[in-house]
Each structure stands twice: as structure tokens, then as C-alpha cells.
Amino acid sequence: MDRWVGKIALVTGASSGIGAATTKALLQAGLVVIGMARRVERVEKLKSELPATIQQHLHAIRGNVSNEEDILTAFKWIEAKFGGVDVLINSAGVFHYKLKMIDETNTAQLREIIDTNVLGLAMCSREAFNSMRKRAADGHVININSIAGHRSHYPGMNIYCASKFAVTAITETLRQEFKAENTKIKITSISPGAVRTEMLPKERLELGIAVLEAEDIADAVLYVLATPPRVQVHELTIQPVGQLT
């Protein structure tokens, strides 16, 4: 991780769950982190709880990745203050449990999932790549995907599975595009199974299902970042011991 010390990382969805755990892990590894979230006050609270030695390296910025203007504003601010982004963690995500695709009046929820999980991730990746290429930086884009992006039979997940299948396809498309542009910018999809976060329905936890902790995914982020320049971990699947599907 030495080559990342002092580098600039943008983490979307940094206010809770995997985003918050990854923010902490990157700070502890020596990176400067911009935590982007709709609930920016949570990122500020996270900052106040950090050791004094790394507090100054976390910068909170309000933004909703389903809003392109928020994304462009965030990247412009980062460029003006730090020069650009070296690492992007696409962690922001939305999930509506038990919402059926055939339910009437579900349009707003369907749009929210697609706009956040697919379009927001794609636009953030676009801006990060161009920031890296502009400075000839060998950066890294990491998409927090899901095993739902590889299997479509999870009940109660409606269009969420389709959104994560899109992330799987987008990751491969971007890998090819990064290569075609003759860069050494890496991209990785990390696909966890069930993770104990606010997105996991309480009723699922009460059933005693096997779960991962958000810190397990943050550890995976550090692992793929720590690989040597010649190595690209394109897809990493992580499931808790005992998960049935």
C-alpha cells in the first residue's frame, strides 16, 4: 500500500456500511479520503471519531450520485483542492426489499435504484477515469457489486439484481475501454454476499443467516489496491461461511 500513501480517494456512499468502513480503512492506510454522501453529517461524525492523527485527511462532501450535477461538482472541487482523484470506490447503493417489479406505482423506487446503482456508478467512473488520464495517473476504480450481480434468483430483490448485473457488465466494459485508451488504470468488481449493513433487512438478520461485516469488504478493497502494478483483480467474490446461495 506504500504507493498509495498521500494519494486521493473518493468514496461514494461514505456515510454508512461498506462505504464508511472503507473510508476508515483507506485513511488508516495513509490515503486522503473524500467521503461523498447524501447524509454528509454522518461523514462528519465519522471524522470526529477518528484518531487525531488522521482526522485531517478525511473531507466530507454532500452529494447524491443519482444527480449528475452533484457528481460534476464533487470532481471539480477535488480537482481544485487536490489536483484530481487516484482511487474511486463506487460504494453508494440503493435497495428496496420486497418491492416487486410488477407492483403498481413503483416507478420512483425503480428509477432510484437504476439512477444510483447503475448511472451514478457509470458517471463517477467516467469522471474518475478522465481525472486519472489527464494526470497520467495509474489509478484504480473499485465497484462494490454484489453476488446478486451474478445470480438473478434472489426473492424480494426486484430490479436490484438487474442493477448489479449491470455493474458486472459495466466493469468489464470499462476494463476494455481503459485498455483501449492505452492506460494502466485498473478496475475491480467486489461482489459480497450478505453484509451486516443498514441495507440488509432486519427480518433477514433475525432468521440467523450467515453474514459478513462491512470491515471484511474494506479489507478486500485494501487487498486489491495493494496488488503490484502488473496484477489486476478484475472480480472478487466474497461470501460468509455457511451462506446457502
Residue numbers annotated as active site: 160
Beta strands in the chain (DSSP E): 8-12, 32-37, 58-62, 87-90, 140-144, 186-192, 235-238
CB 14 within 8 A of CB 91: yes
Residues 215/23, Cβ–Cβ less than 8 Å: no
DSSP label of 104: T
Q: Which residues pair with 61 in a beta bridge?
A: 36
Chain Cα centroid distance, residue 212: 16
Buried/exposed 45-72: b ≥16 CB within 10 Å, e otherwise: ebbeebeeebeebbbbbebbbbeeebbe
